[in-house]
Structure 1
Amino acid sequence: MAATNEPAESIQLCFSQVKGSPEDDVVTDADIISTLEFNETGSLLATGDKGGRVVIFQRDYESGGDADFSVYSAFQSHESEFDYLKSQEIEEKINKIKWLKQCNASNFLLATNDKTIKLWKILERSQQPVDFNNVAEDPSRRITSLRVPKYQTAPLTVEAIERRTYANAHAYHINSVSLNTDVATFLSADDLRINLWNVENNKECFNIVDIKPQNMEELTEVITSCEFHPLKSHELVYSVSKGSIRMCDMRSQALCDSHAKLYEVPEDPANKSFFSEIVSSISDVKYSHDGRYIMARDYMTVKLWDVNMESKPVQTFEVHDYLQGQLCSLYENDFIFDKFECCWSCDDNHLLTGTYNNFFRVFNRQTGEHQCLEASREIARPDFPLKHRKVIAGSTNTKRKKDEFNLESMDYSKKVLHATWHPREDILAIAATNNLYIFRSKNQKIAR
């Protein structure tokens, strides 16, 4: 949906659902959600975890809730492996999930870990064949007559079938997978290369971006995220750790080592510090649904670029400016290297990204207003409205209002790294450790 010219009101979100074990239970590393994604209609929501599992939730329209999801299917997508040539273990953690456009009764999705991408077919079975020749029952038995199989009604089952495996194309960790608007191709990106695949061909791919220097000691940046244009099959953008975004046009050249456009904020020498390059590294980049804007998330901000203006971002939103004085501590505990994702609302009027203490922020692109909200089981009551939380500095003994939160009490182990917005409605899915939170707009209208 394209954004309108009228100012958009900030949405009032309320709690709908939470999936996962309570926060006081022991959480294993394998249970932590590492990615999540709605399909194109929003009727299915897939999550991947660090244990290599994919769990698919289905919208339940009959439950009476506006945004209720129930478990539809769960399967093991990836297993841990060992690369004997490099003497390193390949984790089973699911880095990205992408749904393909649905063309028939079955659904298809791509799931990737650090090295291997897999194409899964998700299909329903409500009938099963009976009364047919089955040699497996008794291989020595001689078949004297041919029995044509018959199908009879059986309990509905959902199966996940691995259709293709796209492997041996990345020397470094895959950080992005993006489907092309032509539905036939997709790209995968690691730290130094971006490859273009045909969905039907898992034997070979084409390298379209390669920033690996001849001498690795000269390496100054790595690729952090990549995405195809939502409408143009020849255009893509990728971000690098130096804080710049590069747009490539595959019509001009097959190998896109030289970019068509560059979006970059020049570094201010007066504000340069030891942490400048680290916090400017872009962890996620997303086109708006109409392709007019590019959203980029770095450690401290969300920047909004007009694709036709390379000189400066049209808007910059501060995510957690109260952490400016905490950068040294965050660096020592490696939190400064956390990779936060971002996403657009269905109408492109709002931006969503996460922060620490299970807080997440929703920015109104047109008015500049923002909401700091919390994903917590303490508010796990149907239709409970979320209230804006204000983070304040000071000692824990400082008197504060009900909706204020003290910076000294910030829990950096609880963080919202992954979030996604329903493609047609104001429904948000938030991953907080091993819990999946579903929030909806208070004035949500059900779109079937």
Structure 2
Amino acid sequence: MSGINQVSSDDAGWRFAQCFGDKGEVEDITEADIILPDENTKTDWVRPARQWESARLTSEEPPRPASGPVIIIIIASNLVADQPTNEAHTLQGITDTNHLLGTACVEFDHTGDYLATGDKGGRVVLFERNENKKGCEYKFYTEFQSHEPEFDYLKSLEIEEKINKIRWCKRQNAAHFLLSTNDKTIKLWKVFEKSLKVVAENNSSAQAGPNPPSPPPASALPSSGLPSSPSAAASSSGGTDVNGTPYLRLPRMTYHDTIVAAVPRKVYANAHAYHINSVSVNSDGETYMSADDLRINLWNLNISDQSFNILDIKPANMEELTEVITAAEFHPVSCNLFCYSSSKGTVKLADMREQALCDKHAKLYEEEEDPSNKSFFSEIISSVSDVKFSKDGRYLLSRDYLTLRIWDVNMDNKPVQTINVHDHLRSKLCDLYENDCIFDKFECTFSGDGKNVLSGSYNNYFHIYDTDATQDIVLQADKSAFKAKKIGGKNSKGAAGAGGAGGAGGKGGKNGKPIVDTENIDYNKKILHASWHPREDTIAIAATNNLFLFSKPGQSSSSTPSSGGTTTSGGAP
């Protein structure tokens, strides 16, 4: 992959579009007061927030009135609002501690009109495309608690509520169906719009009030052609019949509001002894598979108490264990094919038509490591963290710690392209091992047309490569991006060019490659999860407590690239 040319986001046409989540840091809050209505004096009782904070740190009981609710007013200097969204979620990073736990996965649906995120607190948040706005813009749709923390008393093991994967099922009616999973349990959720109706009028309400509702006029009553009864005449003229008996009204329901409800339709539990790392929905729309470290199970979406084991690599003696499954994915077109990756750096393609237990693969995709690069860390960095099919199923994309590889499904002897994402980190592997960053699992994804690939890096940078590996577009998912958008200025940090590759700034070097300052990389800021819109050049990036959206206006993924050889000019390999 020699001669790759890095292009700035401005030259490439990519622009920051939106940001959801934690836009305010603790240091951004300049002043805050606690206001408590005092029931004794009927006055507002105001104390500075710092007084309450100092009392909390010293474990003292802060002064407060006898009763009444607590109101917190925050005055912040550096909170920057994004495109119009739900205000409760704009400040959610400050007010909701669960959101501070971070986004753990992000996924577009098959149309791209909806976007789902899962966090470490077990919540799923859905966003809907705002059709009233030009360009790419999403708005809050709904959220629900998908998983709760559990405890396995048999193994004395705590099961986290963190959402590992979210996968959309194909939509068949007005409702949405999606799968979400933590380490042990998979759930099928139905998300739908529900109309709320309330009782607007009944017999008791008609008699209780001093001014009961008047009956409808005679002209509005249905004409049946029959003579009206005395009681009907009495009811239309008053509230009682001729004998003075109160007239009984049938309750009448009226529309009140429409809410978005989420209900679990199926719970697929107790099928995995090890942590679930992947969920993939089959193209037949009826089945899906789930993979843990040693096994892959096949499920029917309508059956929650039974699954079929289609792959088992667990040895008879666990001391002989040499590899684990790291990711698995169904073929997007052929429902009998699936691929899975391992910690040995291999990707295998299996065909379920050959046998019930697919312990013999159909194809093996593996690239031998250069002997000159072998080291103590070779086995760790060769572990494949993610594998994805292109939309047409012709190509495979695999990601390990240092590289991206694009494979032709029909050619397993070598990859079509090998892209060195973290080649500048080879000299820092010892430090990365000590701080456990060498075990970070970066995801990867194809664009909708299969002509570009995306994967993350450190310092909240992520890279977009064309499949010819001739261009590397580097962008940064950082708060500076929407701050620059707010003031309308050009952002040199959020729109990183050649000086921002690999997660560290630097000046351009030979062949347009940057000179990366590996000493100033923030390894706590990393882009692990990303999703590409299936029909447009729009990408969703999960960066710790934030969800960033970037788009390329004026060109969708399905459009024909211009002949000028711009960002997505690289054809399929």
TM-score normalized by the length of structure 2: 0.70
Aligned residue in 2 for 1:239: 341
Aligned residue in 2 for 1:249: 351
Aligned residue in 1 for 2:279: 177
User: SS at 1:254's partner residue?
Assistant: coil
Aligned residue in 1 for 2:427: 325
Aligned residue in 2 for 1:297: 399
Aligned residue in 2 for 1:388: 497
Q: Structure 1 pair 184/355, CA: closer, same or farther in 2 (3 Å)? A: same
Is the contact made by 2:441 and 2:528 (CA closer than 8 Å) also made in structure 1? Answer: yes
Q: Structure 1 pair 302/411, CA: closer, same or farther in 2 (3 Å)? A: same
User: SS at 1:202's partner residue?
Assistant: coil
User: SS at 1:155's partner residue?
Assistant: strand
Aligned residue in 1 for 2:48: none
- Tell which deviates more after alignment, 154-163 or 208-217: 154-163
**Do residues 71 (structure 1) and 140 (structure 2) align?**
yes
Distance 2:167 2:500 in 1: 35
User: SS at 1:203's partner residue?
Assistant: coil
Is the contact made by 2:417 and 2:468 (CA closer than 8 Å) also made in structure 1? Answer: no
**Do residues 119 (structure 1) and 119 (structure 2) align?**
no
TM-score normalized by the length of structure 1: 0.89
Equivalences, count? 423
Distance 2:251 2:191 in 1: 24
- Tell which deviates more after alignment, 28-37 or 258-267: 28-37
**Offset at residue 444 of structure 1 (A):** 3.9
5 Å-filtered alignment, 1:49-448, equals: 49-62=119-132, 64-128=133-197, 130=199, 151-366=253-468, 368-380=470-482, 381=485, 386-391=495-500, 406-444=517-555
Segments of structure 2 that go 5 or more residues without pairing to the other structure are: 1-8, 28-92, 203-247, 559-573
**Offset at residue 149 of structure 1 (A):** 7.7
User: SS at 1:412's partner residue?
Assistant: coil
**Offset at residue 196 of structure 1 (A):** 0.1
Distance 2:295 2:250 in 1: 52
Distance 1:260 1:174 in 2: 24
**Do residues 17 (structure 1) and 18 (structure 2) align?**
yes
Distance 2:543 2:176 in 1: 26
Identity percentage over the alignment? 53
- Tell which deviates more after alignment, 44-53 or 383-392: 383-392
User: SS at 2:173's partner residue?
Assistant: coil
Segments of structure 1 that go 5 or more residues without pairing to the other structure are: 1-8, 134-145
Q: Name the amino acid aligned to 1:439.
A: F
What CA deviation, in whole Å up to 9, does each residue of 1:252-295 have, x standing for no partner? 10100111111111234343210111111000000000110000
Q: Structure 1 pair 400/187, CA: closer, same or farther in 2 (3 Å)? A: closer
Distance 2:283 2:400 in 1: 26
**Offset at residue 126 of structure 1 (A):** 2.9
Q: Structure 1 pair 218/426, CA: closer, same or farther in 2 (3 Å)? A: same
Aligned residue in 1 for 2:42: none
Name the larger-Rg structure. Answer: 2
Q: Name the amino acid aligned to 1:124.
A: E
Is the contact made by 1:322 and 1:391 (CA closer than 8 Å) also made in structure 2? Answer: no
Is the contact made by 1:181 and 1:232 (CA closer than 8 Å) also made in structure 2? Answer: yes
Is the contact made by 1:392 and 1:406 (CA closer than 8 Å) also made in structure 2? Answer: no
User: SS at 1:390's partner residue?
Assistant: helix
Distance 1:218 1:245 in 2: 21
Distance 1:318 1:150 in 2: 68
Q: Structure 1 pair 326/148, CA: closer, same or farther in 2 (3 Å)? A: farther
**Offset at residue 155 of structure 1 (A):** 1.9
What CA deviation, in whole Å up to 9, does each residue of 1:328-369 have, x standing for no partner? 000000000000000111111000000100000000113521
Distance 1:444 1:239 in 2: 33
Is the contact made by 1:193 and 1:223 (CA closer than 8 Å) also made in structure 2? Answer: yes
Aligned residue in 1 for 2:83: none
Distance 1:399 1:425 in 2: 32
Distance 1:301 1:372 in 2: 16
User: SS at 1:278's partner residue?
Assistant: helix
Distance 2:143 2:313 in 1: 37
Paired residue for 1:35, among 78, 91, 105? 105
Distance 2:395 2:449 in 1: 13
What CA deviation, in whole Å up to 9, does each residue of 1:99-129 have, x standing for no partner? 0011000000000000000000000023426
Q: Structure 1 pair 356/367, CA: closer, same or farther in 2 (3 Å)? A: closer
